Amino acid sequence: MEKNKTTGGTSSYGGTAKDRVNRVDPYGFERPEDFDYESYEELMSRYLVVLTQRSIKWSKLLKGKNKVQRNVKLKRYIRKGVPNEHRALIWMATSGAQDQLEKNAGYYQSLLVAQHDPKLVESISTDLNRTFPDNVQFQKTSNPCLQKALCNVLRAYGHHNPTVGYCQGMNFIAGFLLIITKDEEKSFWLMDALLGKILPGVYSYSYLSSFAKILLQSSHARVKDRPGSVGGAGEGQVPQSVEDHDGSQRNVDPGGVSVVHLSLHRHSASGDSSTNLGLPVL
């Protein structure tokens, strides 16, 4: 008897594990060339039993209802993992997104038909093909293709929250929500709950600039001579270059301070599509 290949199950058919396991995972991501099908099949042959048991318990808990009661039992179930088929319902209920959707009926659709800033649209369109290129659901040959839904969610959110507008990275958040919910409006309200209530200010300029400074201050840059120079950088001398932890070279400015320009690409009501932060490292 054949089990569902998309969940990593095995089949009674012969051949190798690669023949039996789907090359695309349950979320639509193509497995890499070096994927270990044998180990995955061995793991799933045991873990599939656990997943099935949890799915049955969740079905009994929800009893086909579209509402969930937030209590200790629900928290315990969530901590053990929410089955994929129930994630949209649970995420919407526990985040408050479902309440917002019901209180604001028709609001998402009104955002879609509103006039959008051309620069906002351009910034979003630029990132569409960069969003999960290894996921078959975002490829243009897919039917339906989630790129259109992704574009709608990002445009709507940019119009809904003009202070933030659109920042790089938001496309992956919206994209993942679409993979789980398969619903534009639910993804929009989940994104609003995530960025507005659960992680407020995460896309603000002050947050990003502070985070960038922390990253740069913790970087392990080693000072060394520029290749081809004679002698070392002695006391009181300015090193000609630094080598980052990844081995790449970076020139040092005449004042002896290496300046890294971190571009924070965004488009908001202010009209700034990017901001360069010149932050000293040494």
Residue 181: predicted pLDDT: 97
Q: Is residue 103 in a domain?
A: yes
Residue 278: predicted pLDDT: 37
Q: Comparing 67 with 13, which gets the higher pLDDT?
A: 67
Euclidean distance between CA atoms 229 and 275, whole angstroms? 35
- Domain extent, residue 172, equals 96-198
Q: Is residue 85 in a domain?
A: no
The count of domains in the chain is 3
Considering the domain architecture, whether residues 189 and 106 belong to the same structural domain is answered as yes
* CB contact at 8 A, 240 and 233: yes
Residue 15: predicted pLDDT: 85
Is residue 163 scored above 80 in pLDDT?
yes
Q: Could you tell me whether strands 274-280 and 166-167 are parallel, antiparallel, or unpaired per DSSP bridges?
A: unpaired
Which strand (E) or helix (H) includes residue 279?
strand 274-280
Which strand (E) or helix (H) includes residue 274?
strand 274-280
CATH code of the domain in which 149 resides: 1.10.8.270
Considering the domain architecture, whether residues 211 and 131 belong to the same structural domain is answered as no
Residue 204: predicted pLDDT: 67
Residue 168: predicted pLDDT: 86
Q: Is residue 173 in a domain?
A: yes
Is residue 180 scored above 80 in pLDDT?
yes
Considering the domain architecture, whether residues 193 and 213 belong to the same structural domain is answered as no
Q: Is residue 83 in a domain?
A: no
Is residue 192 scored above 50 in pLDDT?
yes
Residue 251: predicted pLDDT: 47
Q: pLDDT tier at 269 (50, 70, 90 boundaries)?
A: low
Is residue 119 scored above 60 in pLDDT?
yes
Euclidean distance between CA atoms 64 and 67, whole angstroms? 9
Q: Is residue 75 in a domain?
A: no
Mean pLDDT over all residues of the chain? Answer: 78
Considering the domain architecture, whether residues 179 and 210 belong to the same structural domain is answered as no
Q: Is residue 222 in a domain?
A: yes
Structure tokens at 46: 């045991």
Considering the domain architecture, whether residues 182 and 218 belong to the same structural domain is answered as no
Q: Is residue 91 in a domain?
A: no
Q: Which residues contact 61 (CB under 8 A, 6 or more apart)?
A: 73, 74, 77
Least confident of 37-41, 153-157, 185-189, 229-233: 229-233
Is residue 232 scored above 50 in pLDDT?
no
What's the rounded mean pLDDT across residues 93-117? Answer: 95
Q: Is residue 79 in a domain?
A: no
pLDDT digits 0-9 by tens, 236-252: 444 444 444 445 454 44
